[in-house]
């Protein structure tokens, strides 16, 4: 599973990191997939996963005009092929293709319509 591969990679990055902030915040615990992701089969990030991945990968934040509906979160969880983070009225994307497509759509709502 991709979530397990990402979790294993993140563990390795924490162990080999020379960044004192990363070491202080994330070392000393044996993280498992559900510490970073909501489910083992979803790339939706929890807060800890988001905080860590944003220090390593490029990402972009998009404002949504309202809180996400449950159905939208389920559609994203089913269709996304890269990690993403949702918080209140924003989504943070980590995959360049998703970032470009969201920008081209003009809004998060219009971008979400591509998955329906």
Q: How far apart are CA 39 and CA 32, in angstroms?
A: 11
- What pTM, to 2 d.p., does this model score? 0.84
* C-alpha to C-alpha distances, 42 to 15, 37, 38, 82, 109, nearest whole angstrom: 25, 7, 7, 9, 20
pLDDT digits (tens, 9 = 90+) for 23-41: 777 777 777 899 999 988 8
pLDDT-derived band at 64, boundaries 50, 70, 90: very high
* C-alpha to C-alpha distances, 88 to 16, 17, 48, 91, 92, nearest whole angstrom: 33, 31, 16, 8, 11
pLDDT digits (tens, 9 = 90+) for 69-80: 999 999 998 899
pLDDT digits (tens, 9 = 90+) for 76-116: 988 999 999 999 899 999 999 999 999 999 999 999 998 86
Tokens representing residue 65 in the block: 């005009």
**Cβ 8 vs Cβ 30: under 8 Å:** no
Q: What residues does each domain of the chain span?
A: 2-113
């Amino acid at each position: 599973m991709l979530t397990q591969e990402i979790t294993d990679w993140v563990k390795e990055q924490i162990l080999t990191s020379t960044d004192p902030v990363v070491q202080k915040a994330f070392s000393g615990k044996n993280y498992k997939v559900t510490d970073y992701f909501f489910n083992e089969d979803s790339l939706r990030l929890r807060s800890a996963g988001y905080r860590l991945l944003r220090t390593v990968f490029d990402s972009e934040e998009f404002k949504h005009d309202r809180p996400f509906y449950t159905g939208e979160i389920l559609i994203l969880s089913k269709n996304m092929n890269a990690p993403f983070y949702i918080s209140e009225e924003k989504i943070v994307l980590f995959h360049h293709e998703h970032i470009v497509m969201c920008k081209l759509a003009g809004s998060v709502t219009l971008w979400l319509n591509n998955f329906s």
